[in-house]
A and B are shown apart, each in its own frame.
Chain A
C-alpha cells in the first residue's frame, strides 16, 4: 500500500451528518468487480435527482470541488453497513482523506487498509473548517499526517488519529505480513487454547 505522508488537495465542504455507507454506495452497485472502478458510484443517489440528472445543490457536483482529494463532514461519518466499498468509492474517486468529528468504527478501520486517512477534528473546528474560505473557494488545503495538522489558509488545525493507524498509514504497512511474523506465538496460543477451551471447536461437520 502507498504510504500517506502529506496531501495537498481541494477539500469539499460536504457538511452532512451521519453519512451512512448506504449513501456512500447504494447496495445495488456492489456486485461490480473492483477492476471496473468504484468512483462512479460515490454518493450515487444523493448526487442525482429522480431523473438521474446531477443535482446542482450537491457539493460534490460543484465544479470547485470536482477534483477534490479531501472531504469535510459532520459527525458519525461512515456509520452503518460494514461494506468496504464505502471506502473504495472515495479512494477510486481520488479522495484519500475525510475530516470529521467522529467516524463509524468499521469504516475507519476499512479506511486504514486502503490508505485513506480518517482525520478527527472537534465539532467546533469542523464548523470553522466548513466555512474557511480556502475550503469554500476550492483553493486547496494541506494535510500533514506526521504533524497531525491541517493547514487551511492562515489557520492550522490539529487533528487526532489513533497512533497505530498513523504508523500504518505513514509506512503503508500491510497487516498480513505483520501478522505472519507472529506465527510462533499463534502456534503457542493454539496449543494452550485447545486445552483450556476444548468446547471452542465446532462439534459436528455436515
Chain B
C-alpha cells in the first residue's frame, strides 16, 4: 500500500470532509454539526426567501443563548422576545432539535454541545458565532461563519473554504499552581497580537496543553479567534475520550470504542510540516489580565500599564493612547492599582463547572465589596454547581446567581455593565462598549475575577487561595 505524505491533524480532518476541490484550491466541505441561535434569523430568512428547506435538520441544533434572559423577572423588549421565539419557531418548522428558552439543558452553544457529546473529535462544526473555535478542544475542526454562510449550510449542509495555513503553538513545561487556561490564552495573545494568526488554523500542543482538563482546553481553544486565527484545536487523547464516554449524543458502548480507535489516528504525524511554529514555556506564563480595549492589551498581574511615549511606532502609540483614554487609566500604573466597580463570571470562555469551582474557592467565606453576576454556562452546569453548593458561596459573598446564557459578555439580553463602570470579567472581548455602551472591561480568569471582587481592585488570586483547594 502506498504510504501517504505525513499530515497534520488539520489536514486529516480537512481531507476527510472534502467533497470537491475547485481549480482555485477552494474546497466544498461537508458539515457534521451546525448550531443555530437567536441571531441566526438572517440565515433562516435567506433560506425562506429562496423557498428552500433545511437540508439536514438532524445535524442542526438550536441553542438559545445570545438573547435569553438570565435573571428571573427580567423584562425584555418585544424585539428581543420575538428573536427568542423565532428560534423556537424556525426549529419546530424545520424539525431541528432545539435547546430553547426554558429547556432543562439550555445554555451557551459552546458549553452545551460539548457537554452533551454533540461535539466529537474529527467532526467539522460551524455556527454563526466566532467563538465556535471552542469545540476544537475535543479535536473538532470548528469555526465561526457569517449569516450568508449560515443560510448556505442550512440549505446544503456544506461550506466553501480555502485551506488554512497550519500553525502549531506548543507550550512546554507545567503551568504553575493557581494558573489556568485563561492565563495561557491571554498570555499568548499579548505575545503574538490579535492579528498574528490570520488565515491560520492552530494546533495547540505540548505538555502544558496536554496537562489541561477538557474544561481548560475549551477555554484555550475558545480564545483562538482573538489571535485572529480561524480556529484552534487539540488532538484528542485519553483525557478527551474519558471525558466524552457516556455523554448522551456520543456513540455508546462498542460503538464508542470503535470511534476511539479512529480518533486516535487524528493526531498529527511526527514528520508533518506546519507553516508556522511557536514554542512557549509554561513557566513564563503568569496570572494575566487586560488593561486596554483589545485582548492583546494584556499583561502579567505584577506588571504596569505601558507608556505610549515609549512606543516607537506612532500608529501603535496612538492606539495605546486611545485605549487608555477610553479606559480612563494612566501609563505606568500598576495593574494591581486598577479599581473595579463590578464583576462578571460567565460566557462561553469561562462558565463551566471548573471555572465556577475556581471562583468559589476564592470567594468561600469572603464578601465581595462590589456587585456582580455569576451566570453558569448551561442548565446542566447550573444544577451541578447547586448540588456542590457553589451557588450558596456566590450568594453568601453578595453576588447574584443567574441562569445560563451569553449574558453580560455581550449584553444583548439586557445584562449590561453601566456606562463608565469598570468590570472584572471572565469573558473574551474587552472591546469598547462590548458589555454595554461606555462599559470598561478587564479580562481575566475566574479566580482573578473572584479575587478582584473581594479586594475591589485587580489582584493576584494566589494571594487569596494559599492553602485552599480549588
Contacts and interface: CB of A to CB of B under 8 A. Distances in A.
Interface of A: 17-18, 20, 22-23, 26-28, 30-32, 34, 45-46, 50, 74-76, 79-85, 87, 102-106, 109-110, 113-114, 162-164, 167, 175-176, 179-180, 182, 185-186, 189-190, 193, 196-206
B50 A176 contact: yes
B410 A87 contact: no
A53 to B, nearest CB: 14
B97 A206 contact: yes
Nearest to A32: B79
A26 B156 contact: no
B130 A193 contact: no
Contacts, number: 177
A198 B255 contact: yes
A203 B255 contact: yes
A179 B228 contact: no
Contact of A203 (B82, B252, B258, B412): B252
Contacts of B20: 182, 185
B241 to A, nearest CB: 12
B228 A175 contact: no
Interface string B252-266: 100110110010000
A167 B24 contact: yes
A79 B195 contact: yes
Contacts of A109: 145-146, 149
A164 B117 contact: no
A27 B415 CA distance: 12
Given A76-B228, A176-B156, A199 B433 contact: no
Determine which residue in B148, B255, B315 has the highest number of CB atoms from chain A within 10 A of its CB, and name it: B148
A124 to B, nearest CB: 12
Given A18-B319, A199-B255, A199-B262, A82 B144 contact: yes
B371 interface: no
Contacts of A162: 162
A72 B225 CA distance: 24
Contacts of A46: 432
A20 B225 CA distance: 12
Given A75-B195, A80-B431, A202-B58, 7 more contacts: A28-B412, A31-B83, A87-B146, A104-B228, A109-B149, A179-B156, A186-B30
A189 B117 contact: no
A27 B118 contact: no
B58 A205 contact: yes
